[in-house]
Amino acid sequence: MSKVLLVVGHPDLSQSKANAALVDAVRDLGHVTVHDLYAAYPDFQIDVAAEQALLAEHDVIVFQHPVFWYNTTPLFKQWQDKVLTFGWAFTLDGSPSQLAGKKAVVAVTAGVPADHYTPEGSNKATLETLLNSWEATLRLCQLDFQQPMVKVYGTAFGLSDEDLATAAKQYNELLASYAA
């Protein structure tokens, strides 16, 4: 059975509707460990050794966060900078990293509806294009990036309870599929 680590980078999960619903949908899966970065590090003092050990113990890493200015949240960015270090998370000589071969999933929520994230929409680009740094980071770390990216749109404007319930159910099914 694959062990899944869900790394959540929402600044206040207790005040979140969409991110909290996604986490709640998978919290009871026995093979999933939910790791809320903001709860673990309210002072932004990341325990790098503990984080690397947690990553090493899991087969699938899920990176979940709301989109902040076409990027991840501040603590999540700091976590990347501190934890995904040269020699541990990535190498330049082709030797395997400590993350090599683990599966990786990126799950994001966006405040505006999906039509904003099209070449014709207000953002003039897809969410995948704007967040392509995730794919580059995961590739550098030799992680097996699982497509497609999980996306929930309209969390601040227009996401219905029914659509959120559907997204949460699909998220549960995706993470449950890694139990096999």
6's enclosing H/E stretch is strand 4-8
Closest CA to 166 of 176, 151, 147: 151
Count how many residues are written for the chain.
180
* Contact yes or no for 45/102 (Cβ under 8 A): no
Write down the pLDDT at residue 45: 98
The CATH number covering residue 114 comes to 3.40.50.360
Write down the pLDDT at residue 158: 84
Whether cis (ω within 30° of 0) applies to the bond prior to 148 is: yes
For the chain, residues with pLDDT lower than 50 are: none
Question: Taking the model in full, what pTM does it have?
Answer: 0.97
Structure tokens at 145: 């990036």
Write down the pLDDT at residue 180: 76
Q: Which domain holds residue 68?
A: 4-177
DSSP 137-169: HHHHTT-EEPSSPEEE--TTTT--HHHHHHHHH
Write down the pLDDT at residue 169: 98
* Domains identified in the chain, total number: 1
Write down the pLDDT at residue 1: 82
Write down the pLDDT at residue 81: 98
